[in-house]
Chains A and B, each alone.
Chain A
Amino acid sequence: MKWALLSIIVVATVLGDLLQSYEMKRSGEQAVDARGLAKLLRLIVSRRYLFLSIVAMAISFFAFMALVQIAPLSFAVPASAATFVLETLLAKLVLKEQVGPRRAAGALLVLGGVVLLAR
């Protein structure tokens, strides 16, 4: 059961972040003042992939809550940190971002750090 929940977390997190990044790239740079934040709220309901990304984030959140009820946090946190590597890979392959050696090394260092932090 814990592996099924972990798979749901990883897939939902990666899908949510990928869709959110994709839609926000398409929408152009957004301001972070009161007007900008209100516009972002409107975007969530008007852009289907953005809405889907919020649904995916909610699924990931509730699956994580369920996972920590049956598995220790020291398993849940580092295992779900696999999303760092997957998202960096998919950002390069799907979103065509330039992931150079420094960015790739940084993502791997963060992954190692999260694993140690949860021990």
Chain B
Amino acid sequence: MAVAPSKARTLWLTLVVVFLNASGDLSLTLGMKGIPGTMSVNPANYIRAMFHVRVALGIVLLILWLLTRMALFSWADLSFVVPVTAMGYVLAALLGHFYLGETVTPANWIGTFLIFFGTAFVGTTKPKTTDCVRVLP
């Protein structure tokens, strides 16, 4: 069913997309780190890895990320979605710092603030400026 999303709903969906991406990546990373040995080009290794709980959870979260991002593309412009969802980089850095104990340098923090302000800049614009342009057959 078609819905007419408000800006608040669009920003809410953006947060969901960012959260699903960051948590999916984190779950996949933790899962892959828990698998002994290194992965080779053998596809069987990857299929076996999918049965690891955290890897499977990561895949489910990333499938949900793909679908919600598709919905977001139907609500907002590409030039709105791409910079705004870059907030995921900030979330990933924060999760890496506080959850995985990774080091965050001063340059990283400046980068975090730049992304935050860039996202805020784009976030203040109208999410959707065009409907459908037929450019492909």
Contacts and interface: CB of A to CB of B under 8 A. Distances in A.
B86 A114 contact: yes
Interface residues of B, number: 56
B82 interface: yes
B67 interface: yes
Contact of B74 (A29, A37, A96, A115): A29
Q: Is the interface of B mostly helix, strand, loop or mixed?
A: helix
Given A99-B79, A107-B83, A110-B83, A25 B130 contact: yes
Question: Which of B13, B66, B70, B118 has the largest number of chain A CB atoms within 10 A?
Answer: B70
Interface in B80-137: 80-83, 86, 89-90, 93, 105, 107-108, 110-126, 129-136
A7 interface: no
A103 B80 contact: yes
B1 interface: yes
Contact of B13 (A32, A83, A94, A110): A32
B115 A114 contact: yes
Interface of A: 17-18, 20-22, 24-32, 35-37, 40-41, 43, 49-50, 54, 57, 83-84, 87-88, 90-92, 94-100, 102-103, 105-119
Interface of B: 1-5, 13, 16, 64, 66-71, 73-75, 77-83, 86, 89-90, 93, 105, 107-108, 110-126, 129-136
30 contacts: A17-B82, A25-B131, A29-B74, A30-B71, A30-B74, A32-B13, A32-B71, A35-B1, A43-B70, A87-B78, A91-B78, A91-B79, A95-B130, A96-B133, A98-B126, A103-B121, A106-B121, A107-B118, A109-B114, A109-B115, A109-B117, A109-B118, A110-B83, A111-B118, A112-B111, A112-B114, A113-B111, A113-B112, A116-B111, A118-B111
